[in-house]
Copies of this chain bind each other. A is one copy, B any other.
Amino acid sequence: MSSPALIPPTFILVETQLADNIGSAARAMLNFGLDRMRLVNPKPEWPSDRAIALASGADRVLREAKVCRSLGEAVSDLQVVYATSARPRDLVRRIITPEQAGREMRAHAANGVRCGVLFGPERMGLVNDDLASVDAVITAPVNPDYGSINLAQAVLLIAYEWVRTGSDLAPSVLRTGDSPIASRQHLQSFLDRLVSELDESGFLRVSHMRPAMIRNIHALFSRTQLTDQEVRTLHGILTELVNIRLTRRPRPE
């Protein structure tokens, strides 16, 4: 099933509050052969003896975990990013099961695409701004009356499905053309530029609408899995729409 190019997913723990959960997450990952962990602003002092104790022999995963200052930094080199969340929000997002996530990540990995999965803080989960920039949200089929899964348990489920779906793998996830899927960094720089143009234009100046509008723009462009070529096309379009007007005569007021 494995191929030389197979890239296992990176698990990104965002602002985790408890060292126990980071340690348990490392153990759960390694139980299913995953060892690429990143930590965005972990709350416990780091490195953490408590986390190492809970990792129960998987401390290599913790020692090699990259600590990042922002979510953007943590996902910058990844190409497809999923988020785990029990609660679908108002955002327009594709919702998939852990099983679907496993199959998709397998198919991506077989194509050399770098995937990541976000796990939010224990109490609050990921915020809408985080969810806006992911490709899809993974939601487990939990008890609707008691849906809050422990963080390390959520990590286990996704790691388990990564392995399980790999054993009967039928890679069928769509790929477009021969341009690779754009890195998040590449996509983000386009989105930053678009937002900055819209700020300048005044479109986003109505302050109470601004955050929601930016989220919508992120959501819209993030779930498409744009290729490098397409991001270049979007840059070109933006440049044209903005610049050509500069050479035009202002219209009469």
Contact A198 B141 (CB under 8 A): no
Copies of this protein in the complex:
2
Contact A176 B89 (CB under 8 A): yes
Q: Is A93 an interface residue (CB 8 A)?
A: yes
Contact A202 B240 (CB under 8 A): yes
Contact B249 A250 (CB under 8 A): yes
A5 / chain B contacts, CB cutoff of 8 Å: none
Contact A31 B142 (CB under 8 A): yes
A233 / chain B contacts, CB cutoff of 8 Å: 213, 216-217, 220
Q: How far apart sit A147 and B58, CA to CA, in the bound complex (Å)?
A: 11
Q: Is A149 an interface residue (CB 8 A)?
A: yes
Stretch of A36-44, A64-72, A166-174 lying at the B interface:
A166-174
Contact A173 B143 (CB under 8 A): no
Min CB gap A13→B, angstroms = 16
Q: Is A105 an interface residue (CB 8 A)?
A: no
Q: How far apart sit A240 and B242, CA to CA, in the bound complex (Å)?
A: 9
Given contacts A173-B94, A242-B245, A250-B250, contact A27 B164 (CB under 8 A): no
Partner of A177 from B91, B148, B173, B246 at Cβ < 8 Å? B91
Partner of A160 from B140, B227, B230 at Cβ < 8 Å? B140
B-contacting residues, A183-202, CB 8 Å: 194, 197-198, 200-202
B-contacting residues, A115-171, CB 8 Å: 137, 140-143, 146-150, 152-153, 156-157, 160, 163-164, 167, 171
**Chain A 22-39 per-residue mask, 1 if CB under 8 angstroms from chain B, else 0:** 001001101111000000
Min CB gap A121→B, angstroms = 15
Contact B56 A203 (CB under 8 A): no
Q: Which residues of A contact B (CB under 8 A)?
A: 24, 27-28, 30-33, 56-58, 88-100, 137, 140-143, 146-150, 152-153, 156-157, 160, 163-164, 167, 171, 173-179, 194, 197-198, 200-203, 213, 216-217, 219-220, 223-224, 226-227, 229-230, 233-234, 236-238, 240-242, 244-251, 253
Q: Can you report 5 residue pairs joining A to B where beta carbons are below 8 Å apart?
A: A33-B143, A201-B240, A220-B224, A249-B250, A250-B250
